[in-house]
Chains A and B, each alone.
Chain A
Amino acid sequence: MGDVNQSRRTFLKSLAIIAGASMVVGLLRGLEVLVPPSVGLTSFPTLQLVDENGNPIKASDVPVNGQKMAMFNYPLSNEPNYLLNLGNDSNQPVEIPATTVTIPATGKTYEFPGGVGPNKSIVAYSAICEHLGCTYPELTFYPPGVKALTFNGPMDKVIHCSCHGSTYDPYRGAAVVTGPTTKPLPTVQLKWDPSTDYLYAVTMIGPTIYGHTDDLSGGSPISGNSTSVAMLSNPALG
């Protein structure tokens, strides 16, 4: 043991500690292996609305006042939206005017472009509640005369979520009517081709779709250049 010198010993020990620290630091970035590759799109696609057989949907085919809930995914396959043809109390389509919508959470506003179609009565909104992500069948449109129990009392002609009671006004850009939500439902901007009566989804407006860091990531893209519309029964109608 005689020739072990304390300072040389400390030096060798420090060398091992530095090499060990280099090893740990070098390997730390390996934690990135936990991050899954992101899926999604780089820009908003223009997708034609078609039925489940792939035939184009005409604006005149969209049921008025949610007698059926017409649902389609856009821009990603896990981002469902409602296609609504809004009407008055006698179920005649009414024009939905452009308006400015406020996001209560941030105080910011954005321009809602209004309805499309022959009567300018067709709108589309995200079908994922901005409060905590409930979707069909909890989140649905209450047609005229069918009252949802909201925090402001019984209301019809609203989109209401039965999970936690959030209420949106689809006639005014799905603006917040009652909480607990602090954000309106994002709008799908639609385009209507008057010569064919076909409908297209063009882009999203408003807050980010619930559960996504941005509208274009966090889900698989929809293949092809159309998205199919499913006609589901409206749970508000029992």
Chain B
Amino acid sequence: MGMAKRSIGDWLADVFHLRDIPFMGVPSYMFSIEYWLGGVASAALIWQALTGLLMLLYYQPSDAYNSTMAIIHSIPFGAILSSSHLYGAYVMILAVYIHGLHVYFKGAYKRPRQFQWVLGVLMFTMVMITSFVGYSMTGDVLGVDAVDVGKGILAGLHLSALTPIFFGNGTDLDLFTRLLGWHVILAALIALLFALHFYLAEQNGFMPDLKEAKYKAPALLDKSDQRIKPWWPRNFVFMLGIIAMTWGVILTIPSILAIPQVLDKIPILFSPFPGPSPTSPQASLVPAYPPWFFLFMYKMADMPFPLAVDVSMGGLIPVVVLLIVPFVDRSEDLHPLDRPFLTALFITGLTWLVELSIWGAGQPGIPVKPLWLLLVIVPPFVISFAGIYALHFVWRGVKQRIINKAVSNSKPLPLNNKLLTAMGALVTAMAVIIMLLSFTLNPVTQAPFIGLSWGSLMLLFAADVFIYFNYELR
């Protein structure tokens, strides 16, 4: 009696000293996906670590293909485990691309965040390599082809001495033992770099709204800003929403693709399961595709150049360019149209990436004639540079007027209270029903539907969190 009513949240905060966590709070306008793209990539990284460690309990390098298929067919929930690990990697790669592009266009690689950018580029290349290794670990025909291509690339770069280090002494056992080892080592290194990246992000703070920063680096949040509220509980709960949303997508997509009626119609590039064994007759029907995120490199290898040139142009040079961006562009301009050369270069590179990837999927392994090459390479280059420089001059004309206009605190129109509450109630009711229904499903034979239920539960929880935020932030 007479005791003040304390919520569970307050109790948790007391017991675990959550209010003392030295993470930065943010102003309300930052509770938007735009400011949490790195969070999406991090959530995918956590999912990959969890599912990867679980698969470590079953994967056998001595019997790579069969043990992978056994995870899918004989382990309870194993099909969800392996397909969501694959799609977790896909989501992570997409999230990293989007995060990186967003950072570029906001100029967030500029001081004081140069080394956040450099770490990000390093993690990006490591994520690509880790995914490549993981993809090969299944030992299916695509994975084995990928390893052969990897060896060819090393040879093309005159780095054959590295082949035994990455791929072993030539025996299957050594190959898959090493792939497993490298996969785990690289994942651990990514986690290490992530910790550093996250630390710098916390210390440098979120990149504020560009208008507030007057489009000038260094763009910093004023820590005494009255709009900033503590990290606990707002950032924590929003983070849970972001994680649940990301995991929901990671579970939902491959589970839909794994439904038998759907699975038949899925191109092998996006299949949630490994392809045929390299020794099975069906293997000859499968084009020697790399994973989709390396299709561009596959098409580069069809170019009329030596392999070393293909690999340098497709991989090494772009990575080096990305690494030095913050040291080449040291201006204080944050608006992408104030940096027309780099912006045009990024758009050109991105267009080439998409073009080459689609081309690689459509015409795998067909040698490229020089004329085709020019037709594909030149137009995006010309259009991007001409277009961006034209926009650059338009922007310079109106820039001062836009900057001097007062920062309008425009918020998205809040939804009607009753509608919001009804949506929340509907979402929660669906969550409870789906949770109950999921218990009627068999973990081995009906795995795709359980995966779909779990994915939906996560998405529904995320929806409730975001509905709550829509109300809370008024």
A residues near B, CB below 8 A? 1-5, 8-9, 11-13, 15-16, 18-20, 22-23, 25-27, 29-30, 32-37
Contacts and interface: CB of A to CB of B under 8 A. Distances in A.
Interface stretch (B383-391, B393-401, B450-458): B450-458
Given A19-B464, A22-B431, A26-B457, A4 B78 contact: no
Interface in B422-474: 424-425, 427-428, 431-432, 434-435, 438-439, 443, 453-454, 457-458, 460-461, 463-465, 467-468, 471-472, 474
29 contacts: A9-B471, A12-B420, A12-B421, A12-B467, A12-B468, A13-B468, A15-B427, A15-B428, A16-B237, A16-B424, A16-B428, A16-B467, A19-B460, A20-B464, A22-B460, A23-B431, A23-B457, A26-B434, A26-B454, A30-B454, A32-B76, A32-B443, A33-B75, A33-B77, A34-B54, A34-B57, A36-B58, A37-B70, A37-B75
A16 B439 contact: no
A34 B77 CA distance: 10
Ranked nearest first, the 5 interchain pairs of A and B with the lowest CB-CB distance are: A16-B464, A26-B435, A22-B435, A23-B457, A19-B431
Contacts of B457: 19, 22-23, 26-27
A144 B399 CA distance: 105
A8 B420 CA distance: 10
A16 B461 contact: yes
A238 to B, nearest CB: 38
Interface of B is mostly: helix
B207 interface: no
A154 B57 CA distance: 47
Given A26-B454, A33-B78, A8 B434 contact: no
Given A15-B425, A16-B464, A33-B76, A3 B417 contact: yes
A11 B417 CA distance: 12
From B58, B417, B457, name the one whose CB has the most chain A CB atoms within 10 angstroms: B457
Interface of B: 54, 57-58, 70, 74-78, 80-81, 237, 240, 244, 417, 420-421, 424-425, 427-428, 431-432, 434-435, 438-439, 443, 453-454, 457-458, 460-461, 463-465, 467-468, 471-472, 474
Contacts of B471: 4, 8-9, 12
B474 A27 contact: no
A25 B464 CA distance: 17
B55 to A, nearest CB: 9
A43 to B, nearest CB: 21
Given A8-B471, A22-B457, A30 B77 contact: yes
A29 B439 contact: yes
Contacts of A11: 421, 424
Contacts of A16: 237, 424, 428, 461, 464-465, 467-468
Contacts of B425: 15
A37 B74 contact: yes
A8 B460 contact: no
From A12, A15, A19, name the one whose CB has the most chain B CB atoms within 10 angstroms: A19
Contacts of B75: 33, 36-37
B195 to A, nearest CB: 26
A211 B439 CA distance: 33
From A25, A26, A30, name the one whose CB has the most chain B CB atoms within 10 angstroms: A26
Nearest to A32: B76
Given A19-B463, A32-B443, 5 more contacts: A12-B464, A16-B428, A22-B431, A23-B431, A23-B458
B454 A25 contact: no
A18 B458 contact: no
Contacts of B438: 26
Contact of A8 (B417, B439, B454): B417
A19 B76 CA distance: 25
A8 B421 contact: yes
B77 A22 contact: no
Contacts of A12: 420-421, 424, 464, 467-468, 471-472
From B237, B431, B463, name the one whose CB has the most chain A CB atoms within 10 angstroms: B431
Given A22-B431, A23-B431, A35-B76, A1 B461 contact: no
Nearest to B458: A23
A15 B465 CA distance: 9
Contacts of B434: 22, 26
Given A26-B454, A29-B439, A29-B443, A18 B474 contact: no
Contact of A33 (B54, B461, B465): B54
From B237, B425, B428, B472, name the one whose CB has the most chain A CB atoms within 10 angstroms: B428
A5 B421 CA distance: 12
B474 A20 contact: no
A157 B80 CA distance: 57
Contacts of A13: 468
Contacts of B58: 36
Nearest to B417: A8
Contacts of A8: 417, 421, 471
A81 B77 CA distance: 37
A1 B443 contact: no
B391 to A, nearest CB: 39
A34 to B, nearest CB: 7
Contacts of B472: 4, 9, 12
B463 to A, nearest CB: 8
B187 to A, nearest CB: 19
Contacts of A9: 471-472
B363 to A, nearest CB: 40
A19 B460 CA distance: 7
A18 B443 CA distance: 24
Contacts of A15: 424-425, 427-428, 464, 467-468
Contacts of B463: 19
B424 A32 contact: no
B465 A18 contact: no
A88 B74 CA distance: 52
Contact of B244 (A5, A23, A26, A33): A23
A2 B417 CA distance: 13
A22 B248 CA distance: 14
Contacts of A4: 471-472, 474
Nearest to B9: A13
A4 B435 CA distance: 31
B136 to A, nearest CB: 23
A23 B77 contact: no
A3 B474 contact: yes
